[in-house]
Chains A and B, each alone.
Chain A
Amino acid sequence: MRPYLAIIKDSFREALASRVLWILLVLNTIVLLLVAPLGLAERTGIVFTPNDITDGKELLNKIKRQEAEQQPSPGKQIWALLSDDYKAELAPEGEKPRRPRWPGAIYIQLPGELNQVITSPKLYDAEAWSGIALSNDARDLLGQGIDQLDEEDVARLNRLLLEAAYPDEIAVSREKAVAVSYLIWNWFKWPSSKKAAVDWLIGRLQWFFCGVVGVFAGILVTASIIPQTYAAGAIDLLLSKPISRSLLFLTKYVGGCMFVLVSSAYVIVGLWLIAGLRWGEWSNRVLLIIPVLMFLFAVYYAVSSLAGVIWRNAIVSVVIAVVFWAACFIVGFVKGVTEPVFLNPKRIIKLVPAGEELIAVNERAEVFHWSAAKGNWEEVLATAGDTGVAATPGITLPLLGPVYDAKNDRLLALPVAAPQFGVFMVDNGLIVGDKQDGWKRRQGTPAPPGTAALLVNRKGTLLAVTPRGLMRHIGDPVAGEAPVQVFGFTMPTVGGGRFASAGAELSLGTPLSAAIDRMTDDVVIYDTQTLRILSPDAKGRYVERAKRDIEHNLSGIVAVGGGRVLLARAKGQIDLFDAAKLEPQGDFDPEGSNTPRFVECSPGGETFAVLFHNRRLWLYDAAQQRPLRLSISGQGDISAVAFGGDHDRLLVADRFTRVTAYELPAGRITDRRRPSLTVFERIYLYGIEPIYTVFPKPGEMSNVVDYLLTGNESVAVGPSTDLHTIRQKLDIWGPIWSNIAFIAVVVGLGCFYTHRKDF
């Protein structure tokens, strides 16, 4: 062992003699010194985000109306604090706006304007808020006296005042915000928890300075180690010593890696100390990044070392390592662009059995039905073509539903704006398609503001779950008049039926999730803090039967059936409750901290299915009260799950557009709907994917870093906290195994070459 320790020690000695190393260490020190003055302080519920305004149009209408009235009101107070430009664009009720503008612009500016408004200590006026019920937090802050409050508390108080004044239009704030400062300057507020902000910041900093710059510098510093070792005159001396040739190469390789381990530890430990001492976030997971970075370097260094032992030239080693890096980048880039941009939008994310038919929705919210005659999916409801927005590349227009009304053999759906457009896309109408019309799209009744879920009960009544409670649809959902087109957007007109309260008046936070028991018509609603179950009375009006506060304030999705409620929460925990009193019956975390995306319950409540964002499916046998282990093909690539009209049929979508039916509980495949692949899909599946599979994936080690920091195998793409929203799936183990195999092969070749070569 001693000879090999001497070799490792010598590698360090050699690297420490390198000027590049010292330049790198100085640069790293400068980076740490620049990062250290950055201040991150967590604040609760200050910043308005587009998500927080559930009905921007009505909010502005109310403000303008209140401004026009004589008596003091919150609207008057707000109006006084809005910017002059914005007020000119809005114009008070009855007046003409200063200049015509695209209607959406005022809604886009609204969160920013409100963020300005809440900084003012002059917003609160006792008369204006008289008669408005304030939260305990707001009363506490007022009790301290506005003059005594600091800047953050004033903003917090004002936010609470606005929430109390406009409960239908402004969601209750539960989000965290991080106030970012540098030295003595306050920069901006970032809607995020401090831990998430710290993880994000450290992830980006370390990946750039260690993963990109550091690895490249490491290759430069260590490139000469192997060629110098194997230079004529040096290798003779080494091979005359009582050491193994293969181990000589291996130890030199390990020595180079260890050197980079120590170098990257310098930066990571520095960042970890800054995060702990400066920002108060002692995230020990950050330290796990150190070996990951060494592993990343080890991939490139394996190539550099093999080139070094064959050609014994440091420049050739560096050039080959850089060429290898470029090859990995190209392969990773082609795969990374092809899948999310061209193929993922076609992925089926929702399956809806509709009588004899099977309806599917893809990531772009296009709705299809399966045509047995053509052996392919055929578009129905024509959502994308009509809305315009969904057809725009890169923009996904989520769709609530479709839900199937078996009584009328009808599909009902609600195109909802993506959260970033929520402020001006509030009055979408339902879209309706009847089977007898070939699922042709018809415009339906406008949905209530903030509709988060559509449900259909056994009587065929359409229910809408909103932050104000449960609404039911009365009358014909099809609109009476044709919709009008404004700036390319479909603006539905009022007609046909309407939504009315279904009985339960609630005040719910967002995002919320709801499900209906297909045997009892009970509705379960979860709003990040409270789980409720509502039952219909004899008149069909819903009353809250039970409720349970849930700890940790996390988004979640629910399913109900067979007397059980399943709640899957953002951090991966799955809780089971009895549907009568919502008493806990067990919990699971089959995918660790991975975020669930969809949950389903079989019609009879025998089986629950949870599909995670890492595209893995977990089944629970409610009758046996244990997880149901079936051999489901495509685990890791499953994008949708549903239960067939029969109680014993599980439908699973994978490989973008393939749907397989399994018989339960046996798990036997009974049917498979597999449309023929397009040329592009063939190129991807039989060309790009295999090349990507066999190629090492050093660039994707960033996924591992993100996973280590968050514990989640998928990351949010946008600011939405709705669990249904698409997340970027992180392939954690694929790159690790692929890189391990690559290192083993390349280093093995180096050992073999050293062993056989006459020096």
Chain B
Amino acid sequence: MSLDHVIDIHDLRKTYRDGLFGRRRVEALRGVTFQVNGGEIFGLLGPNGAGKTTLIKVLLGIVRKSGGRAALLGRPPGDRKGRRQVGYLPENHRIPAHHTGYTALEYYGGLSGLSPSEIRARRGDLLELVGLGPWGDTSVKKYSKGMLQRLGLAQALLHDPKLLVLDEPTDGVDPVGRAEMRELWRRLKDSGKTVFINSHLLQEIELVCDRVAILVQGLVERVGRIDEITARAEIDVTWTLAGDEGDIRAVLAIDSATPLLVSENNQVQISLTLADQAAVDRAVDGLRARGVSIVSMSRPRRTLEEAFLDTVRQGNGAPGPVTVGGVRR
């Protein structure tokens, strides 16, 4: 377990017991392993019921693990000193209705061990930072969902934690607010803090996260950098070619039964999946050798969403063997 890893999880398991006398068992985490490095923005992805929130709750000690090991800032889950350095924004969090923005920060800041004077010194700037500057004295009963999310983020930041754990942080926040939040996370990262985000919004994760883990049915299916996750062995290439149709079919090995899309100016548009870069090179060489003009050639990248869906579909199929690291092969 490295001290460089802000979060270090090894074969983590959690089984809930349900029903009369706890006879029904639900395996929420089935042996999860991954690490989160200090100073990075890490995204945890997964479909509903994958175990993402359970994983966060185990890390924070809200739920007890059934097996495996986990460490948060080098300390066991639930350790009070460890929690002192964590800011947490739960999914669908509920701030009691008798609070205003300021009193909520007083309450949660006090729970984090801050003195009233420290809280008073920080709360104004913090509410400005999350976009609630004018709303500090307003009852949270009058807050919209997005405003409550911002207030939740403010309370998570109030005690200047090293690690920020955000569960669906942009839920209910408008697009401008989301952009502001993303900017804020980047700034936090730049200041050396670690941000751990659990979100369904894949575009957002893709935009901001350094690394992600994809959790499916209590197992980590993929973990790595975004480009690693989205990368594929095959290469998709879209061509716009001008030349003899027979030459094109010959070089690109397209049989005569497959119709080609030919534009009015006799340009042919083709999308192909080639095995690797060498195959792309060979195709380009062949086309040029036969006098076919390459009007355009593009290689569209796979999105994180596509990668996620592919992973989930694979993960929802017959479960494969689980590696020591919990990553399915």
Binding site for B on A (CB under 8 A): 2-3, 5-7, 9-10, 13-14, 16-17, 228, 231-244, 758-759
By a CB distance below 8 angstroms, the chain A residues around B90 are: 233, 236-237, 240
**B182 is an interface residue with CB less than 8 A from chain A:** no
By a CB distance below 8 angstroms, the chain A residues around B57 are: 236, 758-759
Inter-subunit contact A242/B94 (CB<8 Å): no
Q: In this complex, what residue of B is CB-closest to A5?
A: B110
Of the candidates B64, B94, B155, the one whose C-beta lies within 8 Å of that of A758 is B64
Of the candidates A17, A231, A243, the one whose C-beta lies within 8 Å of that of B94 is A231
The 3 A-B residue pairs with the shortest CB-CB distance in the complex, in nearest-first order: A6-B110, A233-B94, A17-B98
Binds A, one of B78-86, B130-138, B204-212, B280-288: B78-86
By a CB distance below 8 angstroms, the chain B residues around A238 are: 111
Alpha-carbon distance A243/B86, docked complex (angstroms) = 13
Known: A239-B60, A242-B113. 10 other contacts (CB 8 A): A6-B110, A13-B98, A234-B95, A235-B62, A236-B93, A237-B94, A237-B95, A240-B83, A242-B111, A758-B64
By a CB distance below 8 angstroms, the chain A residues around B97 are: 17
By a CB distance below 8 angstroms, the chain A residues around B83 are: 240-242
- 28 CB-based A-B contacts, threshold 8 Å: A2-B115, A3-B111, A3-B113, A6-B107, A13-B103, A231-B94, A232-B92, A233-B91, A233-B94, A234-B96, A236-B62, A236-B90, A237-B90, A237-B95, A237-B152, A239-B62, A240-B60, A240-B88, A240-B165, A241-B83, A241-B112, A242-B80, A242-B81, A242-B112, A242-B113, A243-B111, A244-B80, A758-B64
Of the candidates B60, B93, B112, the one whose C-beta lies within 8 Å of that of A3 is B112
By a CB distance below 8 angstroms, the chain A residues around B81 are: 242
How far does the Cβ of B81 sit from chain A's closest Cβ, in whole Å?
7
Alpha-carbon distance A17/B141, docked complex (angstroms) = 12
**B16 is an interface residue with CB less than 8 A from chain A:** yes
In the complex, which residues 158-177 of chain B have their Cβ closer than 8 Å to any Cβ of chain A? 165
Alpha-carbon distance A240/B60, docked complex (angstroms) = 6
How far does the Cβ of A63 sit from chain B's closest Cβ, in whole Å?
73
By a CB distance below 8 angstroms, the chain A residues around B80 are: 242-244
Alpha-carbon distance A58/B94, docked complex (angstroms) = 83
Inter-subunit contact B94/A232 (CB<8 Å): yes
**B61 is an interface residue with CB less than 8 A from chain A:** yes
**B106 is an interface residue with CB less than 8 A from chain A:** yes
By a CB distance below 8 angstroms, the chain A residues around B165 are: 240
Alpha-carbon distance A170/B96, docked complex (angstroms) = 71
By a CB distance below 8 angstroms, the chain B residues around A243 are: 80, 111
Q: In this complex, what residue of B is CB-closest to A239?
A: B62
**B108 is an interface residue with CB less than 8 A from chain A:** yes
**B99 is an interface residue with CB less than 8 A from chain A:** yes
Alpha-carbon distance A234/B93, docked complex (angstroms) = 6
Inter-subunit contact A2/B113 (CB<8 Å): yes
Of the candidates A232, A241, A244, the one whose C-beta lies within 8 Å of that of B108 is A241
How far does the Cβ of B56 sit from chain A's closest Cβ, in whole Å?
9
By a CB distance below 8 angstroms, the chain A residues around B61 are: 239
Alpha-carbon distance A758/B86, docked complex (angstroms) = 20
Inter-subunit contact B62/A759 (CB<8 Å): yes
How far does the Cβ of B225 sit from chain A's closest Cβ, in whole Å?
28
Alpha-carbon distance A157/B5, docked complex (angstroms) = 97
By a CB distance below 8 angstroms, the chain B residues around A234 are: 93-96
Of the candidates A17, A233, A758, the one whose C-beta lies within 8 Å of that of B93 is A233
Q: In this complex, what residue of B is CB-closest to A228?
A: B96
In the complex, which residues 101-127 of chain B have their Cβ closer than 8 Å to any Cβ of chain A? 103, 106-115
How far does the Cβ of B140 sit from chain A's closest Cβ, in whole Å?
11
Q: With A236-B57, A242-B83 as given contacts, are A9 and B63 in contact (CB-CB < 8 Å)?
A: no
Q: With A232-B92, A236-B90 as given contacts, are A2 and B110 in contact (CB-CB < 8 Å)?
A: yes
